[in-house]
Chains A and B, each alone.
Chain A
Amino acid sequence: MNHPTPKTPSINKPPRLVAAGSTLALLLLLLPLVGLVERAPWSRMWTLLTSTSALTALRLSLIVSSAAIVLVVLLGFPLAWLLARSTFRGQRIVRALVLLPMVLPPVVGGTALLFALGRRGFVGSALDRWFGITLLGTTTAAVLAAAFVALPFFVTTVEAALREADSDIEEAAATLGASPGFIMRRITLPHIKGSLVAGLALAWARALGEFGATITFAGNRAGKTRTLPLEIFLALESDPDAAIALSLVLVAVSLGVLLVTRNRWLPR
């Protein structure tokens, strides 16, 4: 082979434009965080984070995101399984539908939820008429909003893992007489454990940070729907220091999630 040797770019010395561009990119990502830390009211931090409203919002956020995750797993796992392990007509459409909340602005998701499940929505009006149930201002609505935006993160992560998992072993086990439940518990789940944890962590973080769909669909009610992001939004009105303190909590949690899922995002 007599091809001219391609010029290998030096790894140690990136081209100047690459260096300049990536420096700007990093600045764009880093500057806002520096802004938060720089303005952080460190001396009042503890007082701000333990105020009644902050604690109420913290507790509610934990409840809402955990409940949303239970819902996401219960509904998302079968869906991931269906997408990964079977073929059916319209599968591509279903997959696009699953991804939609990931790219949809959350406020659009909230508006859509409002006009479906709100009091005048086609489902919501029936709920109101037959059962006297209205969702505005209820934690149920906040959980639904969080589950709506978090579901794709879990489904896509688990679907990919199920697709990659070796089904030969499962088939062998089935041939040897193992029940589907046994195969699931002893072979499939242990195999995709890492992806399950990553999917859970990502979905939970997304649920925890949910704002747009919640404020549009569930309303803003202390102790019921006012989760941390809504509390931050409200605190900006009157006490920016409290907003900064609570924002830092969410930054810390997000960093924690990155650490948990580091094998997925931070290849060594």
Chain B
Amino acid sequence: MLLGLIGSIALIALAGCGSDSPSLTIDAASSLEPAFTELIEAFIDEPGTDRAGLIVELNAAGSSTLATGIIEGNRPDVFAAADRDTMDRIVDAGRAEAPVLFTRNRLALVTPSDDPADLVTADPSDLPGQLTAASIAQCSPQVPCGRLAGEAQKMLGLQIEPATEETNVRSVLSKVETGEVDAGFVYLTDAITSDVQIIDLEGLDTFVNPYLIVRLEEAANPALAQEFIDFVLSMPGQEILARWGFLAP
């Protein structure tokens, strides 16, 4: 019984150590999840390479959550963050060097498909006032999408007290999609890929987050990690990102 237990623990531990086939672990900001899923498939099938059997694991979560995990000892091969501050934490902690800008993402204000507070059709001059009265979801200031939304509100002179501050942009989107809020600050890529309406708020599209990617110092598979980053920066990689609404770096 106990031997069986110890045996199964050992098995679980062994399973975590990987098998013979090469593998790559990628930590990416949650806004990258759909695009990176496609990118990874294209990377495995890239013409002129033999990557059949390559196992790529994608961990998509809030950039800050991932960064904390890496600083606390997680060992992915590649990390892609949704802003520079978060990437700086990794570099400052000595976990990686020289991250590369690989794409950018615009801030967008979206409403549920039925626009309960009539924000899409609002007169541009009334919009700021209506937004003050509306219930709004956004990311918390600790995470990239929240920093960007806060900056935009400050620069555009919007008075917004959010109904909820989520720890990643996907949660904000879910609050909008389920109709729990009148509107939410997300990225343009999230707006494009889900069933929401975009509010045309003047000046909002000038707020853009740079996305950086880096190979971790302790990558288990540094050569493959670099190949993946090169692929993301390559023409086919950039085309996939563009298709999901990301801006050229």
- List A residues at the B interface (Cβ < 8 Å): 17, 20-21, 114, 118-120, 134, 136-137, 219-222, 225-226, 233-234, 236-238, 240
Contact = CB atoms under 8 A, between A and B. Distances in A.
Closest 9 CB pairs of A and B: A219-B164, A137-B163, A237-B64, A238-B142, A120-B179, A237-B142, A17-B2, A136-B180, A137-B164
Contacts of B167: 220, 233-234, 237
B1, B62, B64, B167 — which one has the most chain A CB atoms within 10 A of its CB? B167
B173 to A, nearest CB: 14
Interface residues of B, number: 25
A120 B71 CA distance: 40
Contact of A219 (B1, B65, B163, B179): B163
Nearest to B136: A137
Interface in B1-22: 1-2, 5
Interface SS of chain A: loop
14 contacts: A119-B179, A120-B178, A136-B135, A136-B163, A137-B135, A219-B165, A219-B175, A220-B165, A221-B163, A222-B165, A226-B165, A237-B64, A237-B143, A240-B71
Given A17-B2, A20-B2, 20 more contacts: A21-B5, A114-B178, A119-B179, A120-B179, A120-B180, A134-B135, A136-B163, A136-B164, A136-B181, A137-B162, A137-B163, A219-B164, A219-B180, A221-B164, A225-B164, A226-B165, A237-B62, A237-B64, A237-B142, A238-B64
Contacts of B180: 114, 118-120, 134, 136, 219
B166 interface: yes
B72 interface: yes
A120 B143 CA distance: 28
Interface of B: 1-2, 5, 62, 64-65, 68, 71-72, 135, 137, 140, 142-143, 162-167, 175, 178-181
B65 A234 contact: no
A72 to B, nearest CB: 25
B145 to A, nearest CB: 12
Nearest to A15: B2
A28 to B, nearest CB: 10
B157 to A, nearest CB: 22
A240 B142 contact: no
Nearest to A115: B178
A14 to B, nearest CB: 12
A237 B65 contact: yes
Contacts of B71: 240
Contact of A240 (B72, B164, B178): B72
A192 B64 CA distance: 49
Given A233-B167, A237-B142, A221 B162 contact: yes
A225 B140 CA distance: 13
Nearest to B181: A136
B206 to A, nearest CB: 26
A134 B72 CA distance: 39
A114 B179 CA distance: 11
A219 B137 contact: yes
Contacts of A114: 178, 180
A219 B137 CA distance: 9
A225 B162 CA distance: 12
A220 B65 CA distance: 16
Contacts of B72: 240
A133 B163 CA distance: 13
A58 B98 CA distance: 40
A232 B163 CA distance: 19
